Structure 1
Amino acid sequence: MPVVRGKNIEPLFTPEQIAARNVELAEEIVAGPTNDLLVISILKGSFIFAADLIRSLHAAGLAPEVEFITLSSYGAGTTGQTVRIIKDIDSDVTGRDVLLIDDILESGRTLKFARELMYERGAKNVTIAVLLDKSVKRQTDLEADYVGFECPDYFVVGYGMDVAYAFRELPFVGVVTGDAE
């Protein structure tokens, strides 16, 4: 078991599993709505997944434009009641196919906000790709169009996901299981 910054981290999805799944996801996405495709990565957690998936899309024959948006959920505790835009995209989405990329789909509030925002701005189609789907935590009727892995009800780190800004650099998705001895 890897030890990182004094913590035991049990790998849940290995770098090899993730890389293979990114190739499969890219092939699925190529078959979907991709006319004048704009990929929007939702920061911060999705940045590694988005980079790898975009490279897989390129290898599968797509050349999308890429944008980034930073959204924040805030409200009562960690449940988040309101979503606000911290950093918006610069591109016009009118009449375009948009692919939103995020690291994990849990409650669904942030991605539902992002999808509705793109439709309000005139997007033709808005699809969603997530590395992890933690459907047990869903609080909306939102489902992703493209899912890397179903995620058990664990707090996960690595591959862009963090706890207190730590562990984003890990090449795998893991679960912190305790302090190293």
Structure 2
Amino acid sequence: MATQIPAARASRIGSALVAGLGLMRAFFARGTRRRRQEEILLDLLRQLTLMTEEIHRANLIQQYRLTVDQMNRTIDDPSLADASSTLTGLSEGKRRQLLFANREYGSLLLAHRVGVLDWDELLGHLRILCRNAVFAEYWDRTAEHRRSIPGASVEGRVGAAVDVMMEELADDPEEWWIVGPPGAGRPS
């Protein structure tokens, strides 16, 4: 004997089933909507992070432009060189050369900091710069200036790498292309 469900009862079960499915859809729709909102929020955070990094790089570049502008004025006007340089006992021409060497080093450092040069490319350019006698004199005369730079900073790590290059270059000037181990002092 087959059990039959009266039509009224069947319609109530059907209605309950439809209502239950509707609730489940709404629940999952809210879950889907929430996941989508979280995805959008994460994407916005990633974009904000990229914009923040880009603004930081733009600020570094702007600050470097201001520094270079001041250096150019100092190089052009010897009376300003006395106000901006702490190095003493230099002729006007030698001071200009050392200021220019500082500008070259700063330019390479900036290129690395904004992502134009990776660590190995930076070291390659610095190896060549270290071969220059004017830069070597600049580096030697400004050793005291670099002592206040934190060793863990980008500039501190780059300075330490240049110190190693200068020492190794002094030991064997004919092997300048292998000065410093590859990746030595590479920032993490």
TM-score bracket for the superposition, by shorter chain length? under 0.3
State TM-score, norm by structure 1. Answer: 0.27
State TM-score, norm by structure 2. Answer: 0.27
Larger relative helix fraction: 2
* Structure ID, larger Rg: 2
Larger relative strand fraction: 1
Structure possessing the higher relative contact order (Cα contacts under 8 Å, 6 or more residues apart): 1
